[in-house]
Structure 1
């Protein structure tokens, strides 16, 4: 996840910790960054107006002052579990870290009775999935797509060969139970589909995309559809 996403997730983690708080070391391990980076992030949250508290010494740590959370949200237990199931079943999906943080934020402000019923119902839903691509790879692809900048990838082909390519991200597509990055490959000078699980390394460059659009990918399968926030 990029820094903005990490700050949102860090804020949520502090809220969930309640009066117990969290140590800088524990937060660093959770977000896979250094303690120094976490402390910079905590300072950034304070500067942005977040009600962060700190407690020095042994057993100390950081937390969020209560009373700064969202108001109660009305969801049925089934709706809450539907959100949990969607996130749990899509560990390789684009922006899943942000999705998980958003779902946790919603669940944290459910009324206690609904939350307890949702937890009981969630225990009756099992999800089996393959290990997701490394977080560093997914974060780079997401950032490149969002900012529309060229992403440099190391790609492992089915025959075992590896290539380094500069790709202009156009869309994410799910097909045959796998996620793909579809983009303009500057090495091949053509639109290409890259299976995300085969991307071993990825880094966002400073180069802007040249404007290749979704229409150049071709017609989607009849069973495919875009993700719409309106629920269409």
Structure 2
């Protein structure tokens, strides 16, 4: 791992560790470097403006001040292209438009040299993505999920039956190459999976969702995990 990448990974690890912090010994093991190198890296982060704190003695260590402002994010060309590829390959994913806008913001603050390298590398990554569902439908589903409001959908089932249902959105799930809205169907009085591409119309109502939880959906596949499960 290059030093610039290690510094970024180190700052992210400290930020995620919260008030617990991490000892220099543990950080050294995590990155496969010496304790002296870790302390030199921490000093570099402090000089760059990162809000690093240290706690001496047994149980002490280093961490990132909660709520403090962080220096601008610095990505490598490969990291920037990875984000571009992920967003381009999943135009039908929930909040894909917001993700694309976020990537554009990141590209806008890259230094010219890194941006030029990212542009060149991006030309070597081709994506053949499926066409997304209706933007209006996706936007309504996203708003209903974020605001936890009942959504009224017109749904075409696999056997060709058209129904209108009020659904309490619980989660989005991707399986078998398709995105699904999983929620409590008030028509069937049960948890149901709705393929997003089969939802022909969606309207967010003013009715708040009940107390249905993700646990009611059942056990996810062994390889399924929430998108915030980034590891450490």
RMSD: 1.6
1:229 deviates by: 6.6
1:198 aligns with 2:198: yes
Aligned to 1:82: 82
Q: What does the per-residue CA deviation read over 1:46-99, in whole Å, with 9 as the maximum and x for residues that have no partner?
A: xxxxxxxxxxxxxxxxxxxxxxxxx86421110000000010011010011111
Provide the residue aligned with 1:186 in structure 2.
Answer: 186
Report the CA distance between 1:227 and its aligned residue. Answer: 1.0
Report Cα offsets for 1:3-46 as digits up to 9, x if no partner.
xxxxxxxxxxxxxxxxxxxxxxxxxxxxxxxxxxxxxxxxxxxx
The residue correspondences of 1:105-144 to structure 2 (distance < 5 A) are 105-144=105-144
- What secondary structure, in the 3-state scheme, does the structure 2 residue paired with 1:145 have? helix
Mapped to 1, the partners of 2:116 and 2:224 lie a distance apart of 36
Alpha-carbon distance change, 201 to 186 in structure 1, aligned in 2, over 3 angstroms? same
Q: Aligned partners of 1:231 and 1:197: how far apart in 2? A: 31
8 Å CA contact 1:180, 1:194 repeated in 2? yes
The C-alpha deviation readout for 1:149-208, integer Å capped at 9, x for no partner, is: 000001111112211000000000000011000000001000000000111100100011
The residue that corresponds to 1:211 in the other structure is 211
Larger radius of gyration between Structure 1 and Structure 2: 2
User: Alpha carbons of 1:81 and 1:174: their partners in 2 closer, same or farther (altered >3 Å)?
Assistant: same
State how far apart, in whole Å, the 1-side matches of 2:167 and 2:74 are. Answer: 43
Other-structure match for 1:151: 151
Aligned-partner SS, 1:129: coil
SS of equivalent residue, structure 1 residue 146:
helix
User: How far, CA to CA, are the matches of 1:105 and 1:96 in structure 2?
Assistant: 14
Helix, strand or coil: the match of 2:227?
coil
**Alpha-carbon separation, structure 1, partners of 2:125 and 2:72:** 25
Distance 2:96 2:72 in 1: 24
Distance 1:147-1:72 versus aligned 2 partners, 3 A rule: closer
1:1-232 residue pairs with structure 2 within 5 A?
73-228=73-228, 230-231=230-231
Q: Secondary structure at the match of 1:192?
A: strand
State the secondary structure of the residue aligned to 1:226.
Answer: coil
Describe the shift of the 1:231–1:98 C-alpha distance in structure 2 as closer, same or farther (beyond 3 A).
farther
